[in-house]
Structure 1
Amino acid sequence: MQSTKKLEGSNLQAAMDQLHADVYDRQMAPFWAIDQKAEHDETNQIRDKQKAVPHIWKYKTDIEPLLYRSAELISTESSERRSLILVNPGLAPKRASVTTMYTAYRLNDPNEIMPPHRHSPNAIRLGLTGSMNFTGVEGENITFGPGDLVLTPHDTWHNHGNQGNEPAINLSVLDLPLVETLNAIYFEHDYTEEEEGQRKRRVVQSERFPSDYSQRVYGHGGLMPRFVSHLRGTGAASPMYLYRWDMMRELLEKFRNWDGDPHEALMIEYVDPTTGSPVYKTITFFMQMLRPGEKTLPLKQNASLLCAPFEGRGYSIVGNKRLDWEPFDTFAVPGGAWCEHVNTSSTEPAILFVASDEPTLKALALYQKHGKKPSGEIVRLT
């Protein structure tokens, strides 16, 4: 066989082209570079070419009209699902809003309840409109309204709906893209309960806990009943399935005059009350308050974020892209992108709901966070 070292010019290029064609034809990939201009760059060729990009989905002009149109055309009899998944343009057609998570919006018509199901991804629901959103989780029937956060942990039976007389809209965040990448995805819909010694399929879960169970048992910070079991569901997530908005809003207000963090302003994390750790092992959630006129310093972390403004208006610079936001929008902050937030109001706070895959990166000892000082100097924060 002729040595490539003896080939020059067009002969060398032709041989290299044929080598690469043969490598790809055999389901392999080259990992070398001839020079810095080579098409096969050794630092980039092993990276996934599909990357999430900064993007914003507008609620009023895009999401809300489509939700109502879908409600007119799709009934609970024709489908147990009626949600809009936010697809990141850099990841399409994959159903992912950032690499590891997706956000979906759901409208429930008055007095409709979907049958129970369960799945391997962790999920949450955040109420946006309507005071009678419904989610039943493992026998706890939860009614929730705007700003209330409801957990539906991995492998817990749950169902969604609306017990009110007006339409109700909520958003959800799932770690489904992450779980799918790990080949651990499954969904089950055959909910049964034992009746008279036999397993029978049911369309509604029996209520096994009071509807205010989560708040009654876990709603007093630093105080926890010892006489109840805290291993709910699979025991792999927070046993507190409901976090009320009024408690979060009150706590944010208590810190309103504190200095806060220059890169993150005021952020409060939803945690497992029995451990103080994130509610899930894969993803975590925050409310972030920007005081009137507040602007954060640029922050870059390898965690991916999904941010949904809940109160106020402003804009964020993600990468080099300006994203103007208002309540109920969602925008993506891909891991590795610089991000800064600005509250454009001089009188009212702005509050963002934030989802992050930070726990996954920390569990794998990969998490990093960097910030820029006012001078422009970059410092490592974590």
Structure 2
Amino acid sequence: MSAQGKTGARLEGSNLQAALDQLHADVEKANMAGYWVVDRTVKNDEDRQVMDKRKAIPFSWKYKSEIEPLLYRSAELITTESSERRSLVLVNPGLAPKRATTTNMYVAYRLNDPREIMPPHRHSPNAIRLGLTGKQNFTGVEGENITFGPGDLVLTPHDTWHNHGNQGDDNAINLSVLDLPLAETMNCMYFEHDYTEEEEGIRVARKMQSERFPPTYSQMVYGHGGLLPRFVSHHRGAGAASPMYVYRYDMMREALERFRDWDGDPHEGIMIEYVDPTSGQPVFKTITFFMQMLRPGERTLPLKQSASLVISPFEGEGYSIVNDQKIEWNQFDTVAVPGASWCQHVNTSDRDPAILFVASDEPALKALAFYQKHGRNQNGDIVKLA
């Protein structure tokens, strides 16, 4: 009975518009949305319903001028007694007020004062810590007490008990990446803080985890590529992530340097992924991490992929071009590159390499068969890469 009244007469002009307005009002009141195109100037245009939702935008946060000063101010005013979570979350303006850096990833910076150790907790999101400053950052994960420094990557997988802090006498700053926005979308968020251990058959509340593995466990068991002990269990935590909980920067930096004179990839330079040593797959099923080397003066070709990226330069300086927007970066800044954005990187130094820490939600998109990757060749033609 499209565009007709109950009498069968077709509605036109103001009568049609009035009927449409009433229909749209009734649909909205019923907590529904009409998926149709009537007039591209009205809010019920189906294209606008899909495309005009709030989306992440290319954006950057400056470490020296913005992040670091705010970290020190927060450390002065907010004690560990008043809050265990003294972190600065990077909120993408395109997604605000939602606390998300890209659609599926959440980045935060934290400063730990000397000798400051937080009690254990666990949560549904997967998370990593990357050391930026301080040589004695601390994270305890499932009974493995890890001390880490600049460039070291520490995993705190989904559902693992862990705590953070600083065992040194100097301030320590680290960067975290979580798949928290994805967990929120999937409606599977939880945080738990009531840590207990069994003592003589009774569960007892504890403020620290007992050490169940030596501090060098991850390196001892998994630190030699191609060699995997058969006499230990590789099921740790929920068993859904890499059992290697710390990846040392000296190993990654050495690997990057070995390939420095290779051709590399024209769209990504020299890029090495952190993987689960038992499978060769990404450390998490949702997000993955890389270190990317741009040789002196290197300029990558434009790349577009459905995965979103979070990029934090660890060494060097340069700029990225994201959808024709030039974004300059320096050490410890963060750049958000939303999925489906054209992106290329430039190392502005003619002497030193630039090393970029990169996080991506590529595994989640691949699991759902949504992942695509395109690049431009030297002639500017678009080629499908994945």
TM-score range, shorter chain: over 0.9
Please tell me whether residue 176 in structure 1 is matched to residue 180 in structure 2.
Answer: yes
Label 1:376 to 1:39 Cα distance change in 2 as closer, same or farther (>3 A).
Answer: farther
Structure 2 Cα separation of the partners of residues 111 and 37 of structure 1: 60
Q: Equivalent residue for 1:309?
A: 313
Q: Which amino acid is the alignment partner of residue 143 of structure 1?
A: T
Residue 340 of structure 1: SS of its match in structure 2?
Answer: strand
Partner in structure 2 of residue 25 of structure 1: 29
Aligned residue number for residue 225 of structure 2: 221
Q: 1:281 aligns with which of 278, 281, 285?
A: 285
2:10 counterpart (6, 10, 14): 6
Could you tell me how far apart the structure 1 residues matched to 2:384 and 2:8 are?
45
Mapping for residues 199-278 of structure 1, pairs under 5 Å: 199-278=203-282
Query: Equivalent of 1:45, from 43, 49, 53?
Result: 49
**Is residue 367 from structure 1 mapped to residue 375 from structure 2 by the alignment?**
no
My pick for the range that moved more, 183-192 or 367-376, is: 367-376
Q: Secondary structure at the match of 2:321?
A: strand
Residue range with higher mean Cα deviation, 157-166 or 189-198: 189-198
**CA displacement at 1:377 relative to structure 2:** 1.1
Cα deviation 1:19-69 (Å, max 9, x = unaligned)? 222221221111111355555333342356010000000100110001001
Give the one of 71, 78, 83 matched to 2:75.
71
Q: CA offsets per residue over residues 242-286 of structure 1, 9 Å max, x none?
A: 000000000000000111111111110000000000000010000
Change (3 A) 1:36 1:199: closer
Deviation at 1:320, TM superposition (A): 2.5
| Structure 1 residue 2, shift from structure 2 partner | 4.9
Q: Aligned partners of 2:171 and 2:9: how far apart in 1?
A: 72
Q: Letter of the aligned partner of 1:335 in structure 2?
A: G
Alpha-carbon distance in 2 for matches of 1:230, 1:174:
23
Indicate the SS of the match to 2:375: strand
Q: Which amino acid aligns with 2:235?
A: L
| Alignment correspondent of 1:129 | 133
Deviation at 1:229, TM superposition (A): 1.0
SS of residue in 2 equivalent to 1:127 = strand
- CA separation in 2, counterparts of 1:344 and 1:85? 29
Partner of 1:290: 294
User: Counterpart amino acid of 1:334?
Assistant: P
What is the match of residue 83 of structure 1? 87
Give the match for residue 336 of structure 1.
Answer: 340
CA distance in structure 2 between the partners assigned to 1:39 and 1:86 by the alignment: 31
- Tell me, yes or no, if the aligned pair for 1:31 and 1:46 is still in contact at 8 Å: no
TM-score (norm. length: structure 1): 0.97
Gaps of 5+ in 1: none
Secondary structure of the 1:113 match is coil
Match of 2:107? 103
CA distance in 2, matches of 1:99, 1:213: 34
Measure the CA separation in 2 of the matches of 1:208 and 1:284: 27
**Equivalent residue for 1:115?**
119
| From 189, 197, 201, the counterpart of 1:185 | 189
Aligned counterparts of 2:42 and 2:188: Cα–Cα separation in 1: 38
Q: Deviations over 1:302-342 (max 9, x none)?
A: 10110000000000011232110000000100011111111
What SS class does the counterpart of residue 11 from structure 1 fall into? Answer: helix
Greater Cα shift, 364-373 or 236-245 = 364-373
CA distance in 1 between partners of 2:239 and 2:19 (Å): 59
**Which 5+ residue runs of structure 2 have no aligned equivalent?**
none
Alpha-carbon deviations, 1:169-197, whole Å to 9, x = none?
00000000001110100000010111122
| 4+ aligned runs moved over 6 Å, structure 1 | none
Contact 1:114 1:161 in 2 (8 A): yes
Q: Secondary structure at the match of 2:365?
A: helix
Structure 1 residues 280 and 5 mapped into 2: Cα distance closer, same or farther (>3 Å)? farther
| Deviates further, 137-146 or 366-375 | 366-375
Residue range with higher mean Cα deviation, 26-35 or 220-229:
26-35
- Residue type matched to 1:170 in 2? N
Deviation (angstroms), 1:138 = 0.5
State how far apart, in whole Å, the 2-side matches of 1:138 and 1:333 are: 33
The offset of 1:7, in angstroms, is: 3.0
- Residue in 2 aligned with 1:153? 157
Q: Alignment partner for residue 146 of structure 2, among 127, 142, 166?
A: 142
Summarize the Cα distance change of 1:147–1:4 in structure 2 as closer, same or farther, 3 Å threshold: farther
2:46 aligned counterpart, secondary structure = coil
Question: 307-316 or 28-37: which moved more?
Answer: 28-37
Contact 1:4 1:12 in 2 (8 A): no
CA RMSD in angstroms comes to 1.4
Do residues 354 (structure 1) and 367 (structure 2) align? Answer: no
